[in-house]
């Protein structure tokens, strides 16, 4: 497999749509990589950031050895499922709900308790719980997320209690990821952080989107309070990785 510049294969991932924007995130942030089976005239394109993958093209042309190295949540057309199952008989289908925030929904007033994170906040994120650590994975970890200055958070006693970040950023959409540490849940912190992030996203001229599981009542509740509306149902394929529980 050959690494290529994202612009060389952008047409494979157009039109951009709400949801798992792995390719666009790689192209716009520089985190992750895009690979092809050959150049020129690729038959397969793989866009990946840690734990998140998008596959396009003819699955018969992705070398078996390469497929064996992939793991994480896979965004791919349905015709990829047999190849994924051949590589991992335990691959699971993870149902997803994709929502968008219409322009007609007013941005909420800012919460003074929510602030933009910077590299100086590294100590506050040094001991994120294991169930919250995923929030930074598309930014190559906490340091990359803080360097980008795109995350909003509530800090309590010197530690991050809740964080919202564009988990994927594209040219039209930014998909919001949000976590609240267990000790701080049911206090409205996820809603407050996501509200602040919505204002940032709109300030960049983009549309906020929200992806979650049908059974994640907490996440769906936050999205509904903020005014997100259902756009479509979708799936990701969990390749050599467990499907999260709500």
In degrees and rounded to multiples of 5, residue 187 shows phi and psi of: -120, 5
Q: Which two tokens stand for residue 45?
A: 């394109």
For residues 138 and 152, what is the distance between their CA atoms, to the nearest angstrom? Answer: 16
3-class secondary-structure state, position 20: coil
Q: Which two tokens stand for residue 72?
A: 């994480």
Give the pLDDT confidence score for residue 109 in this predicted structure.
85
What stretches of the chain show up as alpha helix (H) in DSSP? 22-29, 64-67, 81-87, 142-148, 189-203, 217-226
For residues 43 and 22, what is the distance between their CA atoms, to the nearest angstrom? Answer: 19
Q: How far is CA 168 from the centre of its chain?
A: 4
The average confidence (pLDDT) of the chain is 96
At 72-89, the pLDDT tens digits run: 999 999 999 999 999 999
At 224-235, the pLDDT tens digits run: 999 999 999 999
Strand 72-75 versus strand 229-239 pairing type: antiparallel
């Amino acid at each position: 497999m050959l690494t290529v510049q994202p612009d060389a294969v952008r047409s494979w991932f157009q039109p951009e749509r709400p949801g798992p924007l792995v390719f666009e995130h790689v192209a716009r942030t520089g985190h992750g990589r895009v690979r092809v089976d050959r150049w020129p005239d690729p038959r397969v394109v793989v866009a990946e950031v840690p734990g998140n993958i998008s596959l396009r093209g003819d699955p018969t042309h992705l070398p078996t050895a390469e497929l064996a190295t992939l793991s994480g949540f896979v965004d791919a057309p349905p015709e990829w499922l047999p190849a994924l199952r051949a590589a991992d008989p335990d691959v699971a289908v993870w149902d997803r709900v994709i929502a968008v925030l219409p322009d007609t929904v007013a941005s909420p007033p800012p919460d003074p308790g929510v602030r933009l994170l910077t590299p100086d906040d590294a100590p506050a994120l040094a001991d994120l719980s294991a169930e919250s650590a995923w929030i930074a994975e598309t930014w190559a970890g906490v340091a990359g997320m803080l360097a980008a200055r795109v995350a909003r958070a509530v800090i309590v006693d010197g530690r991050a209690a809740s964080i919202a970040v564009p988990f994927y950023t594209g040219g039209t959409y930014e998909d919001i990821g949000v976590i609240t540490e267990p000790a701080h849940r049911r206090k409205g912190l996820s809603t407050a952080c996501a509200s602040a992030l919505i204002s940032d996203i709109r300030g960049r001229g983009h549309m906020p989107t929200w992806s979650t599981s049908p059974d994640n009542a907490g996440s769906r509740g936050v999205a509904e309070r903020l005014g997100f509306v259902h756009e479509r149902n979708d799936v990701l394929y969990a390749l050599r990785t467990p499907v999260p529980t709500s």
